[in-house]
Amino acid sequence: TMKIGLVLIIILVHLGYTNGSKTPDFYRAAVVEYAPILKYYPPITQFQANKIIETNLKYYKQYIENASKEKTQIIVFPEYGIFSPIWPNKSSIFPLLEIVPDASQNVNPVLDFDELEKEQSPILYTISKLARENNIYVVVDMGDLQYCDKLDDINCPPDGFYSFNTQVVFSNTGLILQKYHKINLYYENEYDYPKDKTPKHFNTSFGVTFGLGICFDIIFKNPMQTLQKYGITDFVYSTWWVNTPPFLQATTMQLGWSYVMGVNILASGSGANWFNSGSGIYSGGNVLDIHYNHGYEKMNQMMIADVPILNKLGTKNIIKEIKFLPEIQQNNVVRIETKILNYEENFVSLDIGTVNCRLDYSTNYRGNSTYALVVVDGYYWPSFQCKYCGLFKCSKKNCTEVAKYPVYGDVAFDNIVLTGEFSKQQGELTTFPIISEGYGLSFKQGWDYTIVNDSISSTQYQIEASGLDKTIHNFALFGRY
């Protein structure tokens, strides 16, 4: 009996409970990096669409059941995780769409759907059933079909329906708890831009309120940064990222956003290949678990971590009426310059436009690799303004190309300090540290990010690192309006 009691105490402590405390210190979360299986390609029939859905939901079932066995409370799946982003237009994706009820309707598909609804909505029914059977919150990305009529809606498309890239949240009882339509589409001709751009969040039975976001949303102020300003400290984030080194890489953006915003982010991405991969669980810039597929073949991976509860007071009473943060619109002028490092000098600087950039460094071994300092000021492809100051590894001696993953370096940096001063003349910036090693992963430790000086006219940021034991691929400051 004494042994049983001791074991029970150990279990309770492990679960984050202490004597006299009702609030746990953490919750257990899972994210899945997953590349969907496609047996058919557009155009497809309804039968073929159902087969695509059925095939991938079988894998979702395995991940949900395995996560549940590990006492996981919430699991997040990637954007396009059920059917991939290969659809050229709305008609091509139509057989894969389902009518997703609003959260206000309190629909529980596994309990409420009749046989016809089950047949027409296999994703909603199956995920609802799995969430309920496994007592776990489930977040999936799917296509929401909403019919419309020009008589009632002057914006109704000519084809008579809207299709939305949609995150759907299921409670641990199978209830459709929330849905969010992606507002920052990335060349997605198969989907419509939603008229309602209100950021969405949901509450859980384990005392955490989550904000929702999909892929390209992380670049913009709305919806995720708006939710953070209103007190949300935890985010479920589904993505099919397009890695464009050295500027935008999945895990570096996820880590940088978590660090600067001081939040938890459960990021689930595609495991398709190096171009689209990148997932992780982050807490205030700390990497709890992370995965990146730096190869050319599909690779799936589930990550599970105990995530600290940052806001034990909750946010139920904080969010009443959300007002959007303003997006700053500017011209499409861009200035990009690079300067190759001369290892004998131990510093390099580059100033263009409203960006001043300086790198101080020391090396203990100088091989044949070429590194360069790059500065960007203005409009960056595909559709946003930014300022960028960073070091990256070149693939060629003349540095006309960025090195592709994996990167094997023969230059070891003992100490490295990157300082970037960004003007505020176009507006306030949110600046993220963007740091990755040779295999595309964010560095877990060994670096520090600070705001050195913040004046009316400009802000000076700095990243410092020492004792890094891996090849640097990217070491940068990325500022967004």
Q: How far is CA 216 from CA 254, 382, 384, 448, in A?
A: 11, 11, 11, 26
CA–CA distance, 143 with 404 (Å, rounded to integer): 33
**Residue 358: beta bridge partners?**
349, 419
CA–CA distance, 164 with 185 (Å, rounded to integer): 10
Contact criterion met (CB below 8 Å) for 346 and 359: no
| Amino acid found at 255 | L
Residue 158, both tokens? 């000519």
SS3 118: helix
Catalytic residue, candidates 179, 188, 200, 215: 215
> Would residue 305 be called left, alpha or beta, if left means φ above 0 and alpha means ψ between -120 and 50 degrees?
beta
Residue 76, both tokens? 């997040």
Query: Any catalytic annotation for residue 179?
Result: no
CA–CA distance, 378 with 312 (Å, rounded to integer): 40
Residue 113, both tokens? 């759907």
Q: Which residue has the tokens 């202490």?
A: 18
CA–CA distance, 307 with 243 (Å, rounded to integer): 26
For residue 284, give the nearest of 254, 312, 305, 248 by alpha carbon: 254
Tell me how many degrees the CA angle 257-262-267 measures, rounded to the nearest 5.
45
Catalytic residue, candidates 90, 179, 182, 387: 182
Query: Any catalytic annotation for residue 79?
Result: yes
Q: How far is CA 96 from CA 47, 60, 122, 188, 191, in A?
A: 10, 17, 10, 15, 12
**Residue 475: beta bridge partners?**
391, 435
DSSP E strand boundaries for 312-468: 334-340, 347-352, 355-366, 371-380, 384-393, 411-423, 430-437, 447-454, 458-466
Catalytic residue, candidates 33, 79, 188, 437: 79
Maximum alpha-carbon separation in the chain: 74
Query: Any catalytic annotation for residue 182?
Result: yes
Residue 450, both tokens? 């600070």
Q: Which residue has the tokens 């049983």?
A: 4
Q: How far is CA 84 from CA 26, 165, 213, 218, 343, in A?
A: 33, 12, 18, 20, 45
Residue 150, both tokens? 């020009």
Residue 409, both tokens? 């370096």
Contact criterion met (CB below 8 Å) for 57 and 83: no
Residues that are catalytic: 79, 182, 215
